[in-house]
Chain A
Amino acid sequence: MKNLLGREIPDYIDGYGQVKPFQGSFSNCGVKTRSAVKLTSVLPKDQKVLPSLDDLFDRLKITDGMTISFHHHLRNGDYVLNMVMEKLAARGLKGLTVAASSIFPIHAPLVKHMETGVVTGLITNYLSGPVAEAVSRGRLTKPAIMQTHGGRARAIESGDLKIDVAFLAAPTADTYGNINGVYGESACGSLGYAVADAEYANVTVAITDHLVPYPANPIEISQIYIDYVVKINSIGDPQGIVSGTTKITKDPVALIIAKRAAQLIKASGLVREGMSFQTGAGGTSLAVAAELKKIMQDEGVIGSFASGGITGYLVEMLEEGLFRSLLDVQCFDLKAVESYRDNPSHQFMSASMYGNPHTKGAVVNNLDIMILGATEIDLDFNVNVTTGSSGVIMGGSGGHSDTAAGSKLAIVVTNLMKARLPIIRDKVLTVTTPGESIDAVVTERGIAVNPRRLDLLEQLSQTQLPLMTIEELKQLAEKITGIPKPIETSEEIVAVIEYRDGTVIDVVRKVKD
C-alpha cells in the first residue's frame, strides 16, 4: 500500500506487525488512553540498594524476548547500556529488544549482540555509528523501529511500547531511588528522556556512580518509580557526555544561511514580545540563534521561552534577558548543566511534555520558530534526516518531526550542496518529517517557501530575500553537481520509521553492498 506521502509500504511487516499508514500530521489525534502500569509495592522494611549488577540480575529474572530500555542523556559517553548488555549476554539471554532513546558510536558492542541473537529488536529515535551501519546492512533480526522523541514517550505511555525493565543511568541517586542529573562526575543536566521509562516500565533500576544519602536534592525523578539502586564505579565518560563549549560556526557559507534565516524570521512577523524559539546545537543552527539575537536586541523584544536540547548559547540569551525561560529536555554542554542546576528560570521538561502528540498539549505546540537541519529535502518539502547519501542510517528524527509539526514557522537551514551532492531531490530516499510541516528551506543560494504557506510567501515578497521555488533551487544545485545516480536498495526492510503518532511514515530498505 501507499501512505499519504505515496511511500510504498507493506500492510504487514515481519518482525514489526500490522502497519498503520501515515495519514497526515494530526489525523491520528483525538481521544486517547494511557496504559496502566504494573508495579510491585515497596514496603517499609525493603531495601532498594543492591551491592552489584550481578545481584541485580539475580533478582530481576529477565527472560528471553523481554524489552529493556535506556535513556541517552550520557550520549557518546554512556557506559551503562554496554555494561548491562554484556551481563545479559553472559547470562545466555536471547531475543531481547533494546529500547534506547538514542544510539551512539560508543554502543558499538551492540553489533556483536545483534549478530549472536542476544538482541533481535531495536527501538530508538536516533541511530548513529557502527550500530546504524549494522542495522542498515540487515544484521538485526527484526526491523529497527525509529521513533521521534515525542513519539517514544507516546508509545510508552499508550502501551504500544511495553518496557519490562528500564535501566536509568543516574548521575546522582539516593538510597531510595530519587534521581537527578545535575551532580556527580557524570552530570548531564536534565533527564527529560528518562521520565516515561521510569513511570511506565514494569521494573525500573537506577544505576549510579554517585550514591548520596537520602534524600537526593534536587529530585528530578522520584523514588515512587524506582525499584532498585545499584552503585557502580562509573556510568560514563564526562568527555562524551557534554562538550565544554558549543561554538558558533565560522564557516562563511553557514553564516550567510543563518543571516538569511534570521531575516526570514523577522519578515514573518514572529519577532515579537513573548516569542518562542528552538534550534539545534549544530553550527548553522546556532548561528541562526546569534543572528536572531541581534534582531531581538534591535527591536527590544523579550521572548517567552527557548526550548529543546539546551546549549550554552541559549543560556547566554536567557541571562541577557532575551528570553524569560528555558524549557530543557536535555543539556548539550556544561554551561547548560550549570544553568539548569542554578537558575530557576531554566526549567525541566520531559520528552512527553516536549513533544508527545497524545497529551493535553506539548511544548512544541507553543513554539513559534523552529530551526531544523536536513540531509535531503524533496520537491514536496519532505525531509530526510534518517539516511545519508549512501542510504545508510546516520541519524533519525529525534525531535525533528515533533517540533516541525508543532511550530508556527519550521525552517530548514542547509547548504544547497554537501560533499558535491545536491540536497534537494525529486524524492527523498527516506521521509523522516512530512513536507506539510515544513514552511521554508533556506540555503546560501536562495530560499524556497512551501506553497502551502501562501501567507508567508506574501509576507516575504515584500522583502529583498532571494525567493525561489523549490524546483528552481534544485535546478541551481544540479547545474553544478549534476544529478546523482539513485541509491540501490533491496526489498528487505531494515527499519520502520514511525511518525510521532505511531503511524508508519516510511521504511528503510537494506542497501546493496
Chain B
Amino acid sequence: METLRRSMLFMPGNSPRMLQDAAILGADSIILDLEDAVSLTEKDSARILVREAIKTIDYSAVEVIVRVNPLDTEFGAPDIDVIARVQPHTLLIPKANEDEIRLVDKILTKIEAEEGFPSGGIKIIALIETALGLENVFNVIKASPRTVGVLLGGEDLTADLGIERTKEGEEIFYARNKVATVCRALKVDAIDTPFTDTNDHEGLNKDTARGKGLGLTGKAAINPRQIETIHSVFAPTQNELKRALRILEAMEEAEKEGQGVFSLDGKMIDAPVINRAKRIVDQGVRLGLISGEGGAK
C-alpha cells in the first residue's frame, strides 16, 4: 500500500526530546531537519543525533524523512553519507534542481550497494523553493525514480521571487497550481507549504483547504498542534465515502452484467469517476473510517 502523506511534521534535528517524541504526535510523516532548524555550529552533532535516533527509537508508525543540507554546502554530502546508512524512508532535498536530484540518486545507489540495502529503497522528496526549481519541476521529479513527491517551500520561493509572503497566499497561487498539476501528471505526492501562524487554527484550516482545492495531496506542519486540522481537511467526508462506496457497488453489478459504462442516479459513471471513488475508499480504509471489506463502519 502506498504511503499516506497527509501531514509532514518538521522536527528540529538537534532536539533530543523532540526526536524522542516525534513518532507519537500523529503525523503521517516526520521531517527530521538538519538544515534550517540547525545552526552552523551544530550541524555535526545534529547529524549524529538524528542518526542515533533513527537507530534507537521506534519510528515504525511514521514515515521518517530527513531534510539534509544542500549538496552545494559542506554539510550536504556528509549528511547523506551518514543518514542513508541508517536507512531512513526518505530524504528531503532542499532547493531541489534536476542535477542535484540526479546526483543524490547516484550517491544513494552507491550507499545502498555498499550496505546491502535494496536498490532504490530510499526515496526522495524534492523541496521546490526556487523559481527555477518550480519552472523545471517536471524534470526535477523525472531526474530520479526514487522521487515520490514534491514539497512546496513557500517562504524561500517568495523570497526568490522578490515578493511578499502573505497569510492569504495569493502570491503562491501559481506555484501551488503548477506543483499540483505536475505531481498529478507524474503520480507523485504534492505537499503544500506549511502555515506559519501556529496559533491560528482557523487560518490553517482555510489555507489547507485552499491547497487541497488546487489538487495538493498533503501539507507540511511546523507544530504538532497543526496535525489534527490538516488531517480533518484531507480526510474524505462521510458523504464522499458513501457515494464512492455506492459507485464501486454499482460498478461490480455492471461488471457482472458485462456493462462497460453504466449510470448511477441518472449520471453516467466512467473510468475517471471510478478511479476517484477507488482513491476515496482506499483512503477511507487507511484512515479507519470504513472497514477493509468496503462496508461503512
Contact = CB atoms under 8 A, between A and B. Distances in A.
Nearest to A253: B21
Interface residues of B, number: 12
Contact of A255 (B57, B58, B225, B288): B225
B109 to A, nearest CB: 33
A252 B21 CA distance: 9
Of B21, B26, B56, B223, most A-chain CB atoms within 10 Å: B21
B57 A250 contact: no
B279 to A, nearest CB: 24
B113 interface: no
A417 B223 CA distance: 21
A253 B21 CA distance: 7
A444 B225 contact: no
A480 B20 contact: yes
B225 A250 contact: yes
Interface in A473-490: 479-480
Contact of B24 (A256, A464, A479): A256
A444 B20 contact: no
A445 interface: yes
Nearest to B223: A252
A255 B25 CA distance: 10
Contacts of B223: 252
Interface string B28-58: 0000000000000000000000000000111
Contact of B25 (A256, A417, A464, A479): A256
B224 A252 contact: yes
Nearest to A446: B24
Nearest to B58: A479
A480 B21 contact: no
B57 A252 contact: no
B19 to A, nearest CB: 11
A290 to B, nearest CB: 13
B24 A480 contact: no
B20 A417 contact: yes
Nearest to B25: A252
A480 B24 CA distance: 14
Given A250-B225, A480-B20, A256 B26 contact: yes
A475 to B, nearest CB: 12
A479 B59 CA distance: 13
Interface in A253-267: 253, 255-256
User: Interface size class for chain A?
Assistant: 10 to 19
A426 B62 CA distance: 31
Contacts of A252: 21, 25, 223-225
Nearest to B225: A252
B198 to A, nearest CB: 9
Interface in B58-95: 58
Nearest to A445: B24
Contact of B21 (A250, A444, A464, A479): A444
A480 B56 contact: yes
B31 to A, nearest CB: 15
Nearest to A444: B24
A501 B58 CA distance: 44
Interface in B89-110: none
Contacts of A250: 225
B199 to A, nearest CB: 9
Given A250-B225, A255-B225, A417-B20, A480 B57 contact: yes
Interface string A247-282: 000101101100000000000000000000000000
B231 to A, nearest CB: 14
B263 to A, nearest CB: 38
Interface in A448-490: 464, 479-480
Contacts of A256: 24-26
Contacts of B56: 480
A445 B61 CA distance: 12
Contacts of A479: 58
Contacts of B24: 253, 256, 444-445
B127 to A, nearest CB: 24
Contacts of B57: 480
A445 B21 CA distance: 9
Interface in B267-297: 288
A445 B60 CA distance: 13
Of A252, A253, A445, A464, most B-chain CB atoms within 10 Å: A252
Nearest to B57: A480
A480 to B, nearest CB: 6
A253 B17 CA distance: 10
Contacts of B20: 417, 480
Nearest to A250: B225
B275 to A, nearest CB: 30
Nearest to B56: A480
Of A253, A444, A480, most B-chain CB atoms within 10 Å: A253
Contacts of A444: 21, 24
A464 B287 CA distance: 13
A250 B223 CA distance: 10
B288 to A, nearest CB: 8
A275 to B, nearest CB: 26
23 contacts: A250-B225, A252-B21, A252-B25, A252-B223, A252-B224, A252-B225, A253-B21, A253-B24, A253-B25, A255-B224, A255-B225, A256-B24, A256-B25, A256-B26, A417-B20, A444-B21, A444-B24, A445-B24, A464-B288, A479-B58, A480-B20, A480-B56, A480-B57
Interface of A: 250, 252-253, 255-256, 417, 444-445, 464, 479-480
The 6 A-B pairs with the shortest beta carbon distances in the complex, nearest first, are A252-B224, A253-B21, A444-B24, A252-B25, A445-B24, A252-B225
Interface of B: 20-21, 24-26, 56-58, 223-225, 288
Given A253-B21, A255-B224, A445-B24, 14 more contacts: A250-B225, A252-B21, A252-B223, A252-B224, A253-B25, A256-B24, A256-B25, A417-B20, A444-B21, A444-B24, A464-B288, A480-B20, A480-B56, A480-B57
